[in-house]
């Protein structure tokens, strides 16, 4: 874990908050975040780029809770959004529109219009049809749209294939060999102002080599565009820098910054960055309660009240999260293999297989570590399970920042048409 989640007097705490006390107040499962951990991650990342004074746009998709967004906005962060909902969240959290970048391969006309009306920093355009749509929306609104062309550099990010975004076969960005023509078109279209280039090759990168190859290709493109007389003032480097879940050794922010400085420093470009997971992942836990320990014929199953609908990463990506008890085991505790599973009716509802764990019994509390990114934001109500609440700890206090909804609220999302009731009444009258 880290300094923000540590055992004190044999009990796991978030900063100075006893997590077992939160569980008693809120019920399980729930997500628990450390405000100090969020701030420390952001400040370290920003300090690495202090000389460049970049626009750091937190990637809202990693963790979109309004309290988290407000915390980062207070530290000076902008926002990278990929939907109208995320744009509305960023604005509601107090992020200035001029510090918001709208990314994404499938922006609708309505989303483009809203972004233009809000006066955001830039739209990252990913195709020629989108570029023409932006032009039409800008003309209709009587505005000029600041646009960066997102380039697909055809670079293997060496990450999980479902979160790789920089190869030709991926849906993202304009192909490198077509990017110059796209930029020239942007300069010609009415209502569009091409301001720079953007790139994002994937998430959870654990090495700098893919970044180097992508950045060098973008730098060459900048020179090509300038030679053609097209101004290029900005470069958006995206995000994707990885974190440690198990045995990874991701690049340090300082090394990542040094690479960006080496390649883009001589070009005099204004930098933008879109970190997400690296800011939030290590700052969160998912807390669950053991329902049963089931001794099967060949395996031991630890069944917890969290499920794949609460944390889908293991089912979706075969992702690893350390699982630790809230009460520190004794030094002589025997570790034995167990499968940690949830109650959802899917064999895929499995968090860990043959994981060495200390003895656990019914009602024991456990924590899934490094769960602050792509946890609560990807949760669902599958099996009609209630969305998991979120809690923020700061010092010796905590607050619920998203409450667990009631079953009444869940059922109220649906509506039964009157004609079904009428049909049932007719059948009952026979």
What is the SS3 assignment for 116-172?
Answer: HHHCCCEEEECCHHHHHHHHHHHHHHCCCEEEEEEEECCCCCCCCHHHECCCCCCCC
Q: What is the pLDDT of residue 171?
A: 63
Mean per-residue pLDDT over the chain, rounded: 94
Is residue 323 within 8 A of residue 366, CB to CB? The reply is yes
Is residue 43 within 8 A of residue 357, CB to CB? The reply is no
Q: What is the pLDDT of residue 416?
A: 92
On the 0-12 / 13-18 / 19+ scale of CB atoms within 10 A, 56 is buried
* Residue with tokens 């630890």, as numbered in its chain: 302
Give the C-alpha separation, 143 to 2, whole Å: 48
Q: What is the pLDDT along the chain (430 residues), one digit of tens a residue?
A: 789 999 999 999 999 999 999 999 999 999 999 999 999 999 999 999 999 999 999 999 999 999 999 999 999 999 999 999 999 999 999 999 999 999 999 999 999 999 999 999 999 999 999 999 999 999 999 999 999 999 998 776 555 565 545 556 666 789 999 999 999 999 999 999 999 999 998 878 889 999 999 999 999 999 999 999 999 999 999 998 999 999 889 999 999 999 999 999 999 999 999 999 999 999 999 999 999 999 888 889 999 999 999 999 999 989 999 999 999 998 888 999 999 999 999 999 999 999 999 999 999 999 999 999 999 999 999 999 999 999 999 999 999 999 999 999 999 999 999 998 887 777 776 5
Is residue 222 within 8 A of residue 232, CB to CB? The reply is yes
Q: Hey, what are 16's tokens?
A: 């100075």
CA-nearest of 235, 251, 275 to 158 is: 251
Q: What is the pLDDT of residue 407?
A: 98
CA angle 132, 152, 165 (to 5 degrees): 110
Q: What is the pLDDT of residue 335?
A: 93
Q: What is the pLDDT of residue 159?
A: 56
Rg of the chain, C-alpha, whole Å: 24
Give the C-alpha separation, 254 to 38, whole Å: 18
Catalytic-residue membership of 345: yes
Q: Mind listing the pLDDT tens digit for each residue in 301-347?
A: 999 999 999 999 999 989 999 999 999 998 888 999 999 999 999 99
* Residue with tokens 């992020």, as numbered in its chain: 95
Written as one string, the DSSP assignment of 222-274 is HHHHHHTT----EEE----B---SSS--PPPHHHHHHHHHHHHGGGTPEEEE-
Give the C-alpha separation, 371 to 377, whole Å: 11
Query: What Å distances lie between residue 241 and 29, 57, 114, 255, 425, CA to CA?
Result: 29, 14, 30, 11, 60
Catalytic residue (choose from 50, 227, 297, 345): 345
CA 421 to chain centroid, in Å, comes to 43
Q: What is the pLDDT of residue 33?
A: 98
Residue 397's φ and ψ, nearest 5 degrees, are -130, 165
Give the C-alpha separation, 192 to 195, whole Å: 9
In this structure, the strands spanning 192-198 and 174-175 are unpaired
In this structure, the strands spanning 336-341 and 300-304 are parallel
On the 0-12 / 13-18 / 19+ scale of CB atoms within 10 A, 202 is buried
Q: Hey, what are 309's tokens?
A: 């609908």
Give the C-alpha separation, 342 to 350, whole Å: 6
Written as one string, the DSSP assignment of 63-116 is ---HHHHHHHHHTT-EEEESSHHHHHHHHHTT--GGGEEE--TT--HHHHHHHH
Secondary structure of the chain: what % helix, strand, coil (to 5)?
A: 35, 25, 40
Q: What is the pLDDT of residue 157?
A: 54
Q: What is the pLDDT of residue 155?
A: 77
Number of other residues whose CB lies within 10 A of the CB of residue 122: 25
């Amino acid at each position: 874990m880290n300094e923000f989640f540590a055992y004190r007097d044999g009990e796991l705490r978030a900063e100075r908050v006893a997590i077992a006390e939160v569980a008693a107040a809120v019920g399980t499962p729930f997500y628990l975040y450390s405000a100090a951990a969020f701030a420390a991650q952001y400040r370290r990342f920003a300090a690495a780029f202090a000389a460049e004074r970049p626009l750091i746009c937190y990637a809202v998709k990693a963790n979109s809770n309004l309290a988290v967004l407000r915390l980062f906005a207070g530290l000076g962060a902008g926002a990278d959004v990929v939907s109208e909902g995320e744009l509305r969240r960023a604005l509601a959290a107090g992020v200035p529109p001029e510090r918001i970048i709208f990314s994404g391969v499938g922006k609708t006309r309505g989303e483009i219009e809203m972004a233009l009306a809000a006066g955001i920093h830039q739209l990252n355009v990913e195709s020629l049809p989108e570029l023409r749509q932006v032009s039409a929306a800008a003309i209709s609104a009587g505005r000029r749209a600041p646009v960066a062309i997102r380039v697909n550099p055809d670079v293997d990010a060496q990450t999980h294939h479902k979160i790789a975004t920089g190869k030709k076969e991926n849906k993202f960005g304009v192909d490198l060999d077509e990017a110059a023509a796209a930029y020239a078109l942007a300069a010609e279209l009415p209502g569009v102002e091409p301001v720079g280039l953007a790139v994002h090759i994937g998430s959870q990168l654990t090495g700098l080599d893919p970044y180097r190859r992508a950045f060098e290709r973008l730098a060459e493109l900048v020179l090509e565009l300038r030679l053609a007389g097209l101004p290029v003032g900005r470069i958006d480097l995206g995000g994707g820098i990885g974190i440690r879940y198990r045995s990874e050794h991701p690049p340090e922010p300082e090394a990542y910054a040094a690479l960006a400085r080496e390649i883009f420093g001589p070009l005099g470009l204004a930098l933008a960055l879109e970190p997400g997971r690296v800011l939030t992942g290590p700052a969160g836990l998912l807390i669950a309660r053991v329902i049963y320990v089931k001794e099967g014929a060949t395996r031991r199953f630890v069944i917890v009240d969290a499920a794949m609908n609460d944390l889908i990463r293991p089912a979706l990506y075969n992702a690893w999260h350390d699982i630790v008890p809230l009460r520190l085991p004794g030094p002589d505790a025997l570790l034995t293999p167990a499968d940690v599973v949830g109650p959802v009716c899917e064999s895929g509802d499995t968090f860990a297989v043959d994981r060495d764990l200390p003895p656990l019994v019914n009602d024991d509390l456990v924590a899934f570590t490094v769960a602050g990114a792509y946890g609560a934001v990807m949760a669902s109500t599958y099996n009609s399970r209630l969305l998991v609440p979120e809690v923020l700890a700061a010092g010796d206090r905590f607050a619920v920042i998203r409450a667990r909804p009631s079953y009444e609220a869940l059922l109220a999302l649906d509506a039964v048409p009157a004609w079904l009731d009428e049909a049932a009444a007719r059948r009952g009258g026979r």
